[in-house]
Amino acid sequence: MEALTKLSAAKMREGLVSGEFSAVELTEAHLNQIERSGAELNDFNSICNNEANEAAKIADKKLKEEKENCPTLTGIPVAVKDMLLTKGIRTTCSSKMLENFIPPYSATVVEKIEQNGGIVIGKTNHDEFGMGASSEHSIFGPVKNPWDHQRVPGGSSGGSAVAVAAGHAPLALSTDTGGSIRQPASFTGVVGLKPTYGRVSRYGVIAFASSLDQVGPHARTVDDTAILLEAISGRDEKDSTSIDLEVPSYFSNLQTAKKESLKGLRVGLPKEYFVDGLEADVEASIREAAKVLEEEGAELVDISLPHTSAALPVYYIIAPAEASSNLARYDGVRYGHRAENLKSLGELYERSRSEGFGDEVQRRILIGSYVLSAGYFDAFYNKALQVRTLIIDDFKSAFQNSCDVILAPVCPSTAFKIGELSNSPLKMYLQDVLTTPASLAGLPGISVPYSLDSKGLPIGVQLLAPHFGEEILLKVAERIERKASFDNTKFCKE
């Protein structure tokens, strides 16, 4: 039998239902894999050994009684980004501020995983409070890319992507604010999908930027991505931004879509995404993926998204502004890190926050406080909101008049070395230049691995669709995946 950690979640489901192996065996295989390589890769902040083993025993009982009638994820391990609340399990945001925080309740998406029978196997490492593009900004140290331990896995959801790539879990829950699912997926050779804003509940997700944050899946295959997306999607009364729309049967609909031609599908290639600074290997892979879709019957269309160049500065006004507001609650009074030997209330606030937050988080709080301050609010924040509307209109026009999906690079480069950009915040921020536009517009986007560069590092292809167009994303991504023949089980050893 193939190593259990190499199986897709869909194959795990088949094996569990047929009795080929048990949920306890599957969980043990993944915990053993974490024990072998987790310390080196540093992808987990907490490992839920006891909780996972107990959940696996319950899953086996349910599988024995209900077999194929069990919920979709029954017995399947799922890693959870450490920004999602897990009742009774430490949730740190990779920050000293919440280093010992034990939540009294779970995020809605975590509850949905458990209701669907999934086993939370651990909490994954990431950039502190989701602020970063490398997973280096963590109190627990940097996450390492399994393809090259000297390189970053991308961020902020680097730990989740690495957990999937390394066979520590077949599925992972992550968050994407400006590219934090798609960029790590590209850097580590897995699939990562950012859903439409509002498709998935944000309740119990520790907020970074509330108008941008969205929970989504990391997985090794497009099929598995569809399975996890279906499990976590839907309206939540606890989240007023979640949309009351019927959740499609993403997985079964994708199986039907695999038999369909792409004839008539218009694939937009935005000229603004193919610019100076884009590595030759990355551009070549995207162009090759475009030809694959053309051979499958799709029509390639050159399009323009004229306000793309404004997306990054707009993002780095809006996101820090929202962060400065969201993180104001961490004051050393109610919960979180509290400084000692204090002489005044002012010193309590100042020292607790300066000790509790890392440099990058402090930098973004300062930027956000500045753009929201009197005299600068209209000049920066309001202006950024106006330009955001122009970016949204660019996408609306493209989808209404020119194309059905957009094909583009995820990042200008493949994974860079740990420490390479640490002293250059601007260069680090530029890693988000091709992912922030879709985030600002609230669009769904997916990164699917396609090829390797000359250094042997993964290159992902980014696809974007209109709001709630996840089904077309999955259909096109699966076609690219099928033609790519990308080995995403390289590190899933037992």
Q: What's the token pair of residue 320?
A: 């820090």
Tell me the pTM. 0.97
Q: Identity (one letter) of the amino acid at 307?
A: H
Q: Please answer whether residues 227 and 185 qualify as being in contact, where contact means their C-beta atoms are separated by less than 8 angstroms.
A: no
Burial (Cβ within 10 Å: 0-12, 13-18, ≥19) of residue 480: buried
Strands 405-409, 458-464: pairing kind: antiparallel
Q: Where residue 86 falls among pLDDT bands split at 50, 70, 90?
A: very high
Q: Is the pLDDT of residue 493 over 80?
A: no
Q: Where residue 435 falls among pLDDT bands split at 50, 70, 90?
A: very high
> Quick one: pLDDT at residue 426?
83
Burial (Cβ within 10 Å: 0-12, 13-18, ≥19) of residue 344: exposed
- C-alpha count within 13 angstroms, C-beta hemisphere, residue 134: 26
| CA–CA separation, 461 and 323 (whole Å) | 29
What ranges do the domains of the chain cover?
4-261
Q: Please answer whether residues 218 and 164 qualify as being in contact, where contact means their C-beta atoms are separated by less than 8 angstroms.
A: yes
Q: Is the pLDDT of residue 1 over 60?
A: no
Q: What's the token pair of residue 70?
A: 């069990």
CATH 3.90.1300.10 for the 4-261 domain, yes or no: yes
Q: Is the pLDDT of residue 445 over 70?
A: yes
Q: What is the pLDDT of residues 285-305, one digit of tens each?
A: 999 999 999 999 999 999 999
Mean pLDDT of 458-482: 97
171's CB contacts (< 8 A; 6+ apart) are 9, 73, 76, 77, 78, 79, 118, 164, 217, 218, 219, 224, 227, 228
Q: Where residue 492 falls among pLDDT bands split at 50, 70, 90?
A: confident
Q: Is the pLDDT of residue 2 over 80?
A: no
H runs (alpha helix) in 181-221: 182-188
**Active-site positions?**
81, 156, 180
Mean pLDDT of 73-100: 97
Q: For residue 115, give Cα distances in angstroms to 18, 74, 199.
A: 21, 9, 18
Q: Is the pLDDT of residue 485 over 80?
A: no
Q: What is the pLDDT of residues 245-274, one digit of tens each?
A: 999 999 999 999 999 999 999 999 999 999
Q: Please answer whether residues 161 and 153 qualify as being in contact, where contact means their C-beta atoms are separated by less than 8 angstroms.
A: yes
Q: Residue 309: how many CB atoms within 10 A of its CB?
A: 12
Q: Where residue 18 falls among pLDDT bands split at 50, 70, 90?
A: very high
113's CB contacts (< 8 A; 6+ apart) are 73, 78, 80, 120, 173, 231, 232
Q: What's the first-to-final CA gap in the chain, in angstroms?
A: 12
Nearest to 283 by CA among 189, 407, 455: 407
| CA–CA separation, 348 and 294 (whole Å) | 61
> Quick one: pLDDT at residue 494?
64
Q: What is the pLDDT of residues 319-349, one digit of tens each?
A: 999 999 999 999 999 889 999 999 999 999 9
Q: Is the pLDDT of residue 80 over 80?
A: yes
In sequence order, what are the beta bridge partners of 270?
303
Mean pLDDT of 340-360: 94
| CA–CA separation, 355 and 350 (whole Å) | 8
DSSP 327-384: GGG-SSSSSS---SS--SHHHHHHHHHHHHS-HHHHHHHHHHHHHTSTTTIIIIIIHH
Q: What is the pLDDT of residues 188-200, one digit of tens each?
A: 999 999 999 999 9
Q: Please answer whether residues 87 and 106 qualify as being in contact, where contact means their C-beta atoms are separated by less than 8 angstroms.
A: yes
Mean pLDDT of the chain: 96
Q: Where residue 241 falls among pLDDT bands split at 50, 70, 90?
A: very high
Q: Is the pLDDT of residue 473 over 80?
A: yes
> Quick one: pLDDT at residue 429?
87
Number of H helices, E strands in the chain: 16, 11
Mean pLDDT of 458-478: 98
Looking at per-residue confidence, does 429 or 76 come out higher? 76
Mean pLDDT of 437-458: 97
Q: Residue 450: how many CB atoms within 10 A of its CB?
A: 23
Mean pLDDT of 83-99: 97
Q: Where residue 423 falls among pLDDT bands split at 50, 70, 90?
A: confident
In sequence order, what are the beta bridge partners of 47?
122
In sequence order, what are the beta bridge partners of 215?
175
Q: Where residue 145 falls among pLDDT bands split at 50, 70, 90?
A: very high
- C-alpha count within 13 angstroms, C-beta hemisphere, residue 71: 20
Q: What is the pLDDT of residues 208-231, one digit of tens each?
A: 999 999 999 999 999 999 999 999
| CA–CA separation, 331 and 106 (whole Å) | 23
| CA–CA separation, 167 and 162 (whole Å) | 8
Q: What is the pLDDT of residues 23-76, one digit of tens each?
A: 999 999 999 999 999 999 999 999 999 999 999 999 999 999 999 999 999 999
